[in-house]
A and B are shown apart, each in its own frame.
Chain A
């Protein structure tokens, strides 16, 4: 390869890399218009038993006021929501209650907060607050990164 083509190739790489990085930042961070449904109060009952929550996945919309009634059907269980950092607990016959406004979109694990047995650290459920822009942004960023790397290194 001559010096000129080497230089051109290197310039293309830097250019493609820079554009990709900029697009990834846009995909991850650009403010988007809110497409929320009208906020409402969501009453949810989650049953905890070793070592699962039922339902395992809960979906609400951003802005909803979420009221979770935690019921336990065997031993004492807790419920801690990652990201929101709130918790409650329940034991058989004594449900727990949690109320919060779902003001952050994305998927958040909720997990048992009271040791309940061997699989306790893996007693996990998922709260999805829609529109799940975090996931969409991450997927868009992944596609951009893959495409950008292909362009940058196609002739490298």
Chain B
């Protein structure tokens, strides 16, 4: 059951036009520039610095509480980080180049004479493993990044430089698709969102040899994320930029409103890199909850003392917990599930070996971690957003902490909002996440030909995660 909102004429005009997306991108880019300037030149006190407050409090809360659950990966289409590289590639800021032509150094430097195509993105990196490890790398320094305006600015500068370099060498948004640590989890959690871009009738695409949605046309560019819309089944790799809506000359692409979580219903053919992303994000939420929200001051100091011997111990524990223990425990649950409910059947047309069968089930069951992980991240985000968001008003008037009062809000006092309500907001979110996760474990068992009992260990894993988080916050 889905409703094509882009079939409404005024919505269609809005989505086909470039002004909306361009306007939001310019706005976010302007904020991004202020964030970098305030990081480099402003006060080092994080709670008085525009950069820290508007990136790690306002933007993060918007991303986790609103954008990802409702709009999926839409943020990626208005993110300021790839914008300069994108405009350089297109040699245009707003209007589409004829034929959707892109320009990169790679187009000249690495052109393969025989095939006449630019150098492709390395095959071994065509997954989100780099994004996973990138996120872990950022997580190692997060206590410093989150609290130091200068480090925040330098991190964002690093992101934009890498993004620019990648866009000069490789076509389309290779940085966003394959490298951005934020894009990885935004894509995975974006599967919960009710907004989706899909083709109306796959049969139309099958007979359309031109594939203007992929190669581009005078109306727009080929999919920046290397997607063929006809093959899109989830939001994971779609930023909803609308290029395919513009370039499809058969009017066969639409923006749909669907039931939230529809993308999660197919648990077959799932990928290990995305499964690992779900596990790593789950582990990271626990680490942040213990380190940042917990009462142990020495732990916070250790996490921030980058380079000190104690920090290396902290980094080792974080990596061990995120990359080994949590995935290991999950793997044990899946294996135990196989003992309880059988090995299941290989995918149609495949004769899977044992190792491949384990991997298939592991990736399939990890789908349950998408609603669960998102719920846990929402609970984590709620724990500090309502208490700290009032720092946003003074930072707006005095972004550098230099004593300005641009909008008359510089002297507004810190006022925690609804602090008595936080638990009552967290509990229902976690319960909905848990119910969805358990339902998905049973669906996974069924779709992989296992008996329902196979879902019990992973369901227990999900329940344990929620009880553990409740204990961290409420006991």
**Chain A residues at the B interface, C-beta cutoff of 8 Å:** 24, 28, 49, 51-54, 56-57, 80, 82-85, 104, 106-109, 111, 113, 115, 117-126, 128, 132, 134-135, 138-139, 141-143, 145-146, 148-150, 152-156
Contact = CB atoms under 8 A, between A and B. Distances in A.
Interface in B453-475: 455-456, 459-460, 462-463, 466-467, 470-471, 473-475
A132 B471 CA distance: 11
B198 interface: no
A135 B475 contact: yes
Contacts of B470: 135, 138-139, 142
Nearest to A146: B463
Interface-centre pick from B44, B47, B414, B435 (highest chain A CB count, 10 A): B435
Contacts of B147: 118-119, 121-122
4 shortest interchain CB distances as A-B pairs:
A52-B297, A56-B295, A82-B419, A149-B438
Contacts of A122: 147, 292-293, 300, 384
SS class, residues of chain A in contact with chain B: mixed
A124 B295 contact: yes
Nearest to B421: A83
Contact of A107 (B44, B388, B463, B473): B473
16 contacts: A52-B296, A52-B301, A85-B419, A107-B473, A109-B419, A118-B46, A123-B300, A126-B295, A134-B474, A135-B470, A135-B474, A142-B466, A142-B470, A149-B442, A153-B443, A154-B442
Contacts of B438: 145-146, 149-150, 153
A117 B45 contact: yes
Instruction: For chain B, give the interface size range.
Output: 35 or more
A75 B337 CA distance: 55
Contact of A118 (B45, B443, B462): B45
Given A85-B416, A121-B388, A135-B470, A145 B292 contact: no
A149 B471 contact: no
Identify the interface centre among A80, A82, A156: most chain B CB within 10 Å of its CB: A82
Interface stretch (B162-170, B187-195, B422-430): B422-430
A148 B427 CA distance: 16
Interface string B59-86: 0000000000000000000000000000
B434 A142 contact: yes
